[in-house]
């Protein structure tokens, strides 16, 4: 499988690139995981703007999907750690986010992660930490008490 070169393609979340990625990997959104793939760069940029990110900020992203929001976060933040529960998306993310050396993807359910331990091992203490996500609806109805200690 040949690599998609960043300069040859529009941003991940553009409608044409999103469709090309979904077709290439034979993917569709899994309703059971609340997946959706945003294809409006204006919305993604507003999410990043609302997070008020600086190049000093570290970010935890919940559910990077194919990397549309992740790409925008990587451009704005110091480091991005994405938690993706769907194993099928890992090769997609490895390819789409390859140009960004400040992104790491963890194949784990954020609700089951030991976040204090992960934050301590993955991020330097002198950088602010923010959580940014295009959350699936089902996760908003889950008890998240103690998610970050």
Phi/psi of residue 14, each to 5°?
-65, 145
Measure the CA–CA gap between 3 and 95, rounded to whole angstroms. Answer: 7
Letter string b/e over residues 27-43, b meaning 16 or more CB atoms within 10 A of that residue's CB:
beeeeebebebbbebee
- Check the annotation: does 84 bind a ligand: yes
36 annotated as ligand-binding? yes
Residue 49 is labelled as binding a ligand = no
- What is the rounded distance in angstroms from the CA atom of residue 109 to the CA atom of residue 102? 21
For the annotated binding site for S-adenosyl-L-methionine, the residues are 36, 38, 63, 84, 109, 134
Residues annotated within a binding site: 36, 38, 63, 84, 109, 134
């Amino acid at each position: 499988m040949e690599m998609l070169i960043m300069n040859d393609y529009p941003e991940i979340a553009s409608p044409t690139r999103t469709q090309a990625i979904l077709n290439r990997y034979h993917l569709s959104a899994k309703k059971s995981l609340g997946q959706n793939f945003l294809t409006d760069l204006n919305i993604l940029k507003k999410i990043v703007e609302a997070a008020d990110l600086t190049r000093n900020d570290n970010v935890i992203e919940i559910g990077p999907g194919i990397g549309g929001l992740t790409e925008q976060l990587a451009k704005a933040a110091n480091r991005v750690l994405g938690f993706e529960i769907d194993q099928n998306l890992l090769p997609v993310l490895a390819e789409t986010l390859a140009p960004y050396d400040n992104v790491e993807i963890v194949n784990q359910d954020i609700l089951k992660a030991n976040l204090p331990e992960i934050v301590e091992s993955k991020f330097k203490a002198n950088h602010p930490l923010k959580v940014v996500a295009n959350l699936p609806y089902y996760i908003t109805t889950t008890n998240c008490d103690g998610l970050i200690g």
